[in-house]
Structure 1
Amino acid sequence: MVNFLKTVEKAKWRIMGIKNVVGVGVGYKHVGMERTQQKAIIIFVTKKEDLGNLSREELVPFKINGLETDVIEVGDIRFLEEDRKKHVRPAQPGMSVGHYRVTAGTFGAMVRDRSTGEPLILSNNHILANGTDGKDGRSAPGDLIFQPGEYDGGTKADRIATLIRFIPIQKGEAPASCPIANGVARIANMLVHTIRPNYDLKFFKREGVANHVDCAVARPLSPDLISDEILGIGKVQGIIDAKPGMKVKKSGRTTGITSGVVTAIGTTMQVKMDDNNNAYFSNQVICDMKSQGGDSGSLVLTEGNKAVGLLFAGSEKVTVFNPIQTVLDKLNVELL
């Protein structure tokens, strides 16, 4: 192997100057689709050409310094992360997507409606439906979904789907309706206004409602606009319940492919929706997998590509996701 590496080091720039060549290294020769045990100088090309279409200078030598070569077609090599935030058709899970009034999140998975059989885009309520409780007017079925999301440059020209349904998110606090509480607030505000005229005190009632999922689905404008193959991961190979210690991974719009281990299941968690609102979620899964803003909506899978959850929240130290079976049942869909 040493002789091969030395030869490649000496000849690499000459080889790279040949038409269509994008890389050169050392490996094992392929015959058809099978890898052999014969060492060879591997030459990577964007596209294999018929020998009759190439000049003598454009031919890859069969041997270099007496060492066998092998040509492998690989297409154009580019930074994979770039495509996550670009307009791509068909769009893959793992790419940027979002309601037209949302910055951007992640296209989690391609699912099938159990009633109609039509393919749909799965992500979070707060990505596809603008974090609505169903009564606040933040979104409505039929709203446009962009790919990429608005923050990544998405416009009406990038519309890919329309919102079809969502599970409402109930906030953890609501303005107090108690007459006594409101009376106390009025008296308190008279005192506050003598010091800070532009400030008001308000009482809020903590709701006992806990959410179970943050999810929604959108109908693509055409079925051929989306793919079921998760970017960088591949196709889903079934579903499984999360367990403490289970290794998991995801493909997200912001941090790409990351992995971690499940820390806890059956968790009730307070989640900040924004600076003014919290929501409570029950029966959630916590893991130490890295994620950041924009990764919301990512499908969480095992090492064997079995789906375990739908990512929707996190901090600098943990990631939180809904159990996938609950998501599918609530939305009446199934994974493809």
Structure 2
Amino acid sequence: MPGLKEIQKAKNAYREVILAMPNVVGIGAGYKVVGNQKTEHLCIITLVKEKIPASELPPSGRVPPRINDILTDVVEVGELRALQDHQTRWRPSPAGVSIGHYQITAGTLGCIVRDRASGAALILSNNHVLANSNDANEGDPILQPGPADGGQNPQDALATLTRFIPIHFTDEQPPEPPTSCLTQIAIGIAQFFGLKKWLASLQAPQQPLTNLVDAAVARPMNENDLLDEVLEIGHVEGVLPPELGMNVRKSGRTTGLTTGTITVIDTTVTVGYVGSRLARFDNQFLTTPMSEGGDSGSLLVDDVARKAVGLLFAGSDKTTVFSPIQAVLDALEVML
């Protein structure tokens, strides 16, 4: 079996030939992978933007299975670019970077979605990122980067607010209606005859307003200003429901790429917003801590299939809170 020095010598001898092939972005040495399993065989590795079946390539664009009797392998790595900060200006803009309504600080661009009716590309993030926690109007400018990161209107306007799901805050709870005479009589009868279940139903407190998502979408001024991938994660396609123990990752404006594990599902939580306002959310899920302020709006992706799982909107130093991505897509009538 050839040693590493022999492989490096052959790699260097054929480097320019391989690098001149279309779709190739690099060449190196490493272990050959077969069926997603690393083998013990060292080989020459060709790095390509996209792995294309050999039958679809011209003979001049095919990497031979062996070079000087040394095994080769082809690995897809995408288009390699110098990594910018998540808080700087990006054009085209990927997901995972700073964004925000022109009157807020900054949050995270979650991903690119499509309107179910028109097929138009839209930017997905939170209501409190794109719609200023309900205090915004359709057509308001959305900046990238967000205002806290130097974004200015109009020169950094990337999109305009299209629609959002209103957040119901607990301080907006409608007052309980006054008890009618008939209801008071019914309560008296129930008390007299000891009808506990009936009495409980008559005296039951009003259920608080609740929410399922903190979400909004914005329409880009120019679709060419968007890059349909998540920074440090890549292109995401398809969705998965959250499962206990699922290993996940996200890319956000503040903490960048972080990983975690889903710890709690089917959760009802009370979340604090600016101005000491509170809102209750049902059917959420929690992960190990993987975010800080400014990461709101990040898309959560599973580690294995790289499918979307949730949309980040809250957290603490002990946990991070997400809405299931399917609930977000359905509420906004968009698709991933």
Which amino acid in 2 is paired with 1:125?
N
Q: Is the Cα–Cα contact under 8 Å of residues 172 and 207 in structure 1 kept in the other structure?
A: no
| Residue 240 of structure 1: how far off its partner (Å) | 1.0
1:217 aligns to 2:214 (yes or no): no
For residues 250-307 of structure 1, give each alpha carbon's deviation from its aligned partner in whole angstroms, at most 9, with x where no partner exists.
Answer: 1111111111111111100010112521110111011114100111000111112111
CA distance in structure 2 between the partners assigned to 1:206 and 1:128 by the alignment: 31
Which amino acid in 2 is paired with 1:242?
P
For residues 74-132 of structure 1, give each alpha carbon's deviation from its aligned partner in whole angstroms, at most 9, with x where no partner exists.
Answer: 99985x3x431111111001011100011111100100000111000000000000011
* Within-5 A mapping of 1:271-282: 271-282=271-282
Say if 1:282 and 1:177 are closer, same or farther in 2 by CA, change over 3 A: closer
Identify the match of residue 91 of structure 2 among 89, 96, 115.
89
Identify the match of residue 169 of structure 1 among 132, 142, 167.
167
- 2:139 is matched with 142
1:247 aligns to 2:244 (yes or no): no
- 1:53 is matched with none
Q: Is the Cα–Cα contact under 8 Å of residues 29 and 42 in structure 2 kept in the other structure?
A: no
- 2:317 is matched with 316
Secondary structure of 2:95's aligned partner? coil
- 1:119 is matched with 121
1:152 aligns to 2:149 (yes or no): yes
| Residue 25 of structure 1: how far off its partner (Å) | 9.1
TM-score normalised per structure 2 = 0.68
- 2:235 is matched with 235
CA distance in structure 2 between the partners assigned to 1:91 and 1:229 by the alignment: 9
Q: Is the Cα–Cα contact under 8 Å of residues 210 and 279 in structure 1 kept in the other structure?
A: yes
Which amino acid in 1 is paired with 2:223?
P
Which amino acid in 1 is paired with 2:113?
V
CA distance in structure 1 between the partners assigned to 2:217 and 2:173 by the alignment: 30
Say if 1:91 and 1:206 are closer, same or farther in 2 by CA, change over 3 A: farther
Secondary structure of 1:126's aligned partner? helix
- Over the matched positions of the two proteins, sequence identity in percent amounts to 48
- 1:333 is matched with 334
Say if 1:235 and 1:278 are closer, same or farther in 2 by CA, change over 3 A: same
* Farther off after superposition, 169-178 or 120-129: 169-178
Q: Is the Cα–Cα contact under 8 Å of residues 3 and 42 in structure 2 kept in the other structure?
A: no
Secondary structure of 2:155's aligned partner? helix
Say if 1:177 and 1:262 are closer, same or farther in 2 by CA, change over 3 A: closer
| Residue 173 of structure 1: how far off its partner (Å) | 2.1
Secondary structure of 1:83's aligned partner? coil
Q: Is the Cα–Cα contact under 8 Å of residues 30 and 43 in structure 2 kept in the other structure?
A: yes
For residues 179-232 of structure 1, give each alpha carbon's deviation from its aligned partner in whole angstroms, at most 9, with x where no partner exists.
Answer: x9xxxxxxxxxxxxxxxxxxxxxxxx9970011100000000011111211111
Q: May I ask how many residue pairs the two structures share in their alignment?
A: 260
- 1:56 is matched with none
Which amino acid in 1 is paired with 2:165?
I
Secondary structure of 1:267's aligned partner? strand
CA distance in structure 2 between the partners assigned to 1:322 and 1:108 by the alignment: 12
Say if 1:288 and 1:161 are closer, same or farther in 2 by CA, change over 3 A: same
Secondary structure of 1:84's aligned partner? coil
Say if 1:118 and 1:263 are closer, same or farther in 2 by CA, change over 3 A: same
Which amino acid in 1 is paired with 2:118?
T
CA distance in structure 2 between the partners assigned to 1:119 and 1:319 by the alignment: 28
Deviation beyond 3 Å, 4+ runs, structure 1: 1-4, 24-29, 37-40, 74-78, 174-178
- 1:16 is matched with none
Q: Is the Cα–Cα contact under 8 Å of residues 173 and 206 in structure 1 kept in the other structure?
A: no
Gap runs ≥5 in structure 1: 8-23, 30-36, 43-73, 133-137, 181-204
Which amino acid in 1 is paired with 2:122?
L
CA distance in structure 2 between the partners assigned to 1:293 and 1:242 by the alignment: 23
TM-score normalised per structure 1 = 0.68
Which amino acid in 1 is paired with 2:284?
Q
CA distance in structure 2 between the partners assigned to 1:91 and 1:255 by the alignment: 18
* Within-5 A mapping of 1:194-213: 208-213=208-213
Q: What CA RMSD, in Å, does the superposition of the two structures yield over aligned residues? A: 3.8
Gap runs ≥5 in structure 2: 9-26, 33-40, 46-77, 179-204
CA distance in structure 2 between the partners assigned to 1:87 and 1:28 by the alignment: 38
CA distance in structure 2 between the partners assigned to 1:39 and 1:262 by the alignment: 37
